[in-house]
Amino acid sequence: MRFCLRLLLRQLALAVRRPIEIGQPLMFFAMVIALFPLGLGPDPGSLAGFAPGVLWVTALLANLLSADTVFRSDFDDGSLEQLLLSPQPLFLSVLAYIGAHWLTTGLLLALVSPVFALMLNLSPAVIGSLVMGLLLGTAVLSLLGCVGASLTVGLKRGGMLISLLILPLYIPVLIFGTAAVQASLDGISAVPYLAMLAAMLCLAIALAPLAVAAGLRISVDA
C-alpha cells in the first residue's frame, strides 16, 4: 500500500507539472456547455429540459478525452515496463494510476458542474444529485477508460480506438446518471439510480484493474 500511495502521489505530481492535461478536460467541458445555450436558444425552460443529458454527455466526452494519456508517458520512457517487472501487486499499482486520473479529471468535473448546471437553468434542488452522480459515474468512466488506454498504449494514435472500444460500456453510466438528475427534477428520489451507479463502481473496481493489468502486459510484450 505504501508503494501504491507513492505511485499515486507521483502521478499527481506529474499531472501538476503538466497543467494542460488537467485543464484540457475542464476547458472542453466549459466550452461545450457554453455553446449549448447558443444552439438551443435562450429559453430557460428548454435549457433546463436538456441540462441533465447535456451535462452528463459532456462530462463523459471530457473524461474520454484524457483517457489516452494515462499510461502514455510511462510507456514511452520505459517506466511502465519496470512497473510490470516489479514485485508489487499490479492490481494496486493500476488502481493508483486510475485514482490519479479520476482525481485530476472526474473529481474536478464534478466540483465545477454546479456552476454550469445553474448556467443551464437547472434547479438548485437537484445539484446534490448531479454532483453525487458525477462523483460515482466519473469514477466508473475512469476505470473503464483505463481499460481502453491499456490496450492502445502501444499505438501512436490510439485515441479513436479507445472511443470505439469503451463508448458502448459508458452507456449504462450515462443512462443512470441522467436518470438520477431527471428524477430529482420530477420530485422523485434519485437514490435508486445513485445506488446503481455505486454498484457499477464496486463491480468496476473489482474487475477493471485486472483487465487493465492484462492489457498492459499485452501492449508491452507486443
pLDDT tens by residue, the chain, 222 residues: 788 888 888 888 888 888 887 888 889 998 988 888 787 776 767 777 788 888 999 999 888 888 888 888 888 777 888 888 888 888 888 999 999 999 999 999 999 999 988 888 888 889 999 999 999 999 999 999 999 888 888 776 656 777 788 888 999 999 999 999 999 988 889 999 999 999 999 999 999 999 998 888 887 775
Q: What is the pLDDT of residue 99?
A: 92
Say how many domains are in the chain.
1
Domain that holds residue 156: 2-221
Considering only CA atoms, which of 147, 74, 134 is closest in space to residue 107?
Answer: 134
Provide the residue count of the chain.
Answer: 222
> Distance (Å, rounded) from C-alpha 112 to C-alpha 26?
9
> Distance (Å, rounded) from C-alpha 183 to C-alpha 160?
33
Residues 54, 164, 206, 111, CA torsion sign: negative
Helix (H) or strand (E) holding 46, with range, is: helix 44-67
> Distance (Å, rounded) from C-alpha 63 to C-alpha 174?
12
Q: What is the pLDDT of residue 159?
A: 63
C-alpha cell at 180: 438520477
Q: What is the pLDDT of residue 152?
A: 83
**Half-sphere exposure of 98 toward its Cβ, with a 13 Å CA cutoff?**
30
pTM: 0.90
